Amino acid sequence: MSHYASLSDDYYINLNLNTEMDLPQSRETILHYFEQFQKRYPDMRNFYGRERGEFVLEEDKDRGSYRWASVEPRRVCSGFVNPDSPQTAFKQHELALELAPYALSVSPLDCESLNIMYGFDFVYRGNHSELLVDALGLPPALERMLEIPGATILGSEPALQLALDEDCRTQCRLSFEARTTAYHVRTGEFPEEQLSVYFTARRYGSLDPGETYVSAFQRLAGICAELVDTYVVENVLQPLQQAIAIR
């Protein structure tokens, strides 16, 4: 198993290709796209539609590790929950990007944004925002606010977004999703909920001459893997893991 599996309860790697124009929505087009996916991954056999023109193909979720793919009116998505390695997920996402140009008529011009996201879920029964403050701290300018008599932390979801080139076409973002509500704090009844950490690498705009969706993705995947391993694991995931363990 991937070393990420030991850092959180679940982890996943998702791909999103957002288009400027609407994608084809005919029955033949959608089924052909997912049939090509299923040829590579035969266990992806659960097919269904959602509202607003979204179609999904996925493996059985009860196994704990599963693949999924979806097509929305302006977005092509691919995801893998608890893959045995990031490279396994990357291969799946590359397939989605290989199929999209000819199966869904996605032109190199038609790229609003392409992104890869690493997600990490921690199951925790307690105040998620308070846990984030304890594990990661606060900016010095905000620390004294914790001294307000009788105050309880209701929300603290830090986020940091960085541009990685001069024209800001390639960016990364670290964000958190806490699921504790004021009701939970008021009653003292905290259900076991998932506290999520997301790290995303994204590029904006049409592809460059000679560039393909697969090559653009491979560059992003390299950036994302390097930044997660170099910065996020030691400074975010491990402190959260340790803070949960001692509570």
pLDDT for the residue numbered 1: 60
Q: What is the pLDDT of residue 51?
A: 83
pLDDT for position 48: 96
- What distance in Å separates the CA atoms of residue 131 and residue 211, rounded to the nearest whole number? 43
Return the structure tokens found at 238.
């491990």
Pairwise CA distance, residues 51 & 232, whole Å: 35
Do 157 and 175 contact (CB within 8 A), yes or no?
Answer: yes
Quote the pTM value. Answer: 0.94
Helix (H, G, I), strand (E, B) or coil at 164: coil
Q: Which CATH architecture has domain 3-245?
A: 2-Layer Sandwich (3.30)
Instruction: Give domain limits for the chain.
Output: 3-245
> Angle CA(111)–CA(113)–CA(114) in degrees, nearest 5?
100
DSSP secondary structure string for all residues of 99-115 = HHHHHS---TT-EEEEE
Distance, in Å, from the CA atom of 202 to the CA atom of 17, rounded to the nearest integer, reads 10
10-residue mean pLDDT profile of the chain (247 residues): values are: 88 98 95 96 96 93 95 98 96 98 96 98 96 94 91 92 96 97 94 97 96 97 97 97 93
